Amino acid sequence: MFKALADGTRRALLDALFVRDGQSVQALCDLFPEMTRFGVMKHLAVLEQANLVVTHRDGRQKLHHLNPIPIQQLAERWIAKYAQPFARAMVGLQTTLERDTTQETA
């Protein structure tokens, strides 16, 4: 999941699906003319395997839908762990993070 989000193109694909959900491979290819269809397909496959995108076929098209659940879980289970101490860190930021520079700043 982290790896799926590590690539900028994939995040851009998520953005595109955020703007307009349920797009086909074709439609997404049109939005990324700097890449071939195969590149887009590979990225979509990664996103799908990470469960960030869910698909269903509609005739000869494959429609892609954004799945926010993994991102929410990421926030709850991982980010919150580091983001919460941030509140306390802000109070004593210098003492926590920059003990070496506190002498000159203080």
Partner DNA sequence: ACATTATGTGACCATTAGGTCACATGTCAA
Partner DNA sequence: TTGACATGTGACCTAATGGTCACATAATGT
Residues near a copy of itself (CB under 8 A): 2-3, 5-8, 11, 14, 18, 21, 54, 56-58, 65-69, 71-72, 74-76, 78-87, 89-91, 93, 96-101, 104
Which residue stretch of 14-22, 42-50, 75-83, 92-100 sits at the interface with DNA (rule: CB under 7 A)? Answer: 42-50
Q: Can you tell me whether residue 63 is helix, strand or coil?
A: strand
Options 4-12, 68-76, 81-89, 94-102: segment touching DNA (CB under 7 A): 4-12
Helix residue ranges per DSSP H, 7-79? 8-19, 25-31, 37-49, 69-74
Q: Is 33 an interacting residue with respect to DNA (CB under 7 A)?
A: no
Contacts of 53 (CB under 8 A, 6+ apart): 13, 14, 17, 44, 47, 64, 65, 66, 67
Query: CB 88 → a copy of itself: shortest distance, Å?
Result: 10
Q: Compare residues 45 and 54 and give the one whose CB is closer to a copy of itself.
A: 54
Report helix, strand or coil for 106: coil
